Amino acid sequence: MALKDYLRQRFFPHMWCPGCGHGTVLNSLLRAVEQLGLSKNEIVMASGIGCSSRISGYVDFHTLHTLHGRALAFATGVKLSQPELNVIVPMGDGDALAIGGNHFIHACRRNIDITAIVMNNRIYGMTGGQFSPMSGVGINATTAPFQNIDRDFDVVKMATAAGATFVARSTTYHAQQAADLIKQAILHEGFSVVEILSQCPTHFGRKNKQGAAADMMERYKDITVPVGSKKKAENPDLIERGIFVQEEAPEYCREYDKIIAKAMKG
């Protein structure tokens, strides 16, 4: 199927700002779905609130646009009732790790077969550039006019510690890799987390003097290295990308089926 056939083209051009990385994440996601040969009917996308979460309005899958931070709870319900469907949950860093932090770690712990995509622009884009748990020390934001003193989370470490069985990271510069990682995450049976560094030129970029969208993407090239690269040992500030965790563990829906079978026996 052609890429654009997966879109609700009547809503285009989309609402994202010029150069917003979230559009490139959408682009990568569509490529993953197309390469897997999935039909629109086999996919459910549940999202919360944020610029990132608006992605569910643009794809012609089964979609739910839900509450800020709570998309994983809705997705869990959908997956438990229709386990044969592929459930994808795109989230902003605020959506996933501030208001939705608890849902996030517990979804990881349960290992339910859902694909979470964290579209990390390190700021609250939709509400005007407040700092998020991913902004980090020294970042300028509307709510940190004298720079942020809060340390940031490492989503990869957090998802790993919480029990996610597929954990990966890429960036909008590495859009081809991002598509490949999303593809593998969808195929993985268990909870998958793919973090994609995604530029918000309008708020994060402007407040932190990082230039135009293309400059911010150039930066992703400079500050990231493939997992296991020697460069990381020499410079710990570099951010690794690739697959960090890929392991098998009992999947939640299957375990739940066993409980149902037990209960039915009486």
Partner 1 sequence: MAKKKLKQHHIDRDWCKGCGICVHFCPKNVLELDDMDKVFAARPEDCIACKLCEIRCPDLAIEIETE
Ligand X SMILES: Cc1ncc(C[n+]2csc(CCOP(=O)(O)OP(=O)(O)O)c2C)c(N)n1
Does the bond joining 13 to the residue before it have cis omega, within 30 degrees of 0? yes
3 to 32: interface string for partner 1, x by CB under 8 A: xx--x----xxx-xxxxxxxxx-xxx-xx-
Least distance between partner 1 and beta carbon 17 (Å)? 8
The closest alpha carbon to 48, from 7, 15, 99, 91, belongs to: 91
Integer CA distances (angstroms), 135 to 169, 172, 237, in order: 17, 17, 15
Chain residues binding ligand X by CB under 6 A are 49-52, 68, 92-95, 99, 119, 121, 123-127, 132
What is the Cα–Cα distance from 58 to 187, expressed in whole angstroms? 22
Closest-approach residue to ligand SF4 (CB): 125
CA geometry: angle 61, 64, 65, nearest 5 deg: 120
232 binds, among ligand SF4, partner 1, ligand X, none (CB under 5 to 8 A by kind): none
Measured from the CB atom, the residue of 56 and 202 that comes closer to ligand SF4 is 202
Q: Verify binding: residue 121, ligand SF4, rule CB under 6 A.
A: yes
CA geometry: angle 204, 128, 73, nearest 5 deg: 95
Which residue stretch of 93-101, 118-126, 147-155, 241-249 sits at the interface with ligand SF4 (rule: CB under 6 A)?
118-126
In contact, 64 and 74? CB cutoff 8 Å:
yes
Residues paired with residue 108 on neighbouring β-strands, in sequence order:
none
21 to 40: interface string for ligand SF4, x by CB under 6 A: -x------------------
- Selected from 173, 220, 244, 252, the binder of partner 1 by CB under 8 A is 173
- Contacts to ligand SF4 by CB under 6 A: 16-17, 20, 22, 51, 121, 125-126, 200-203
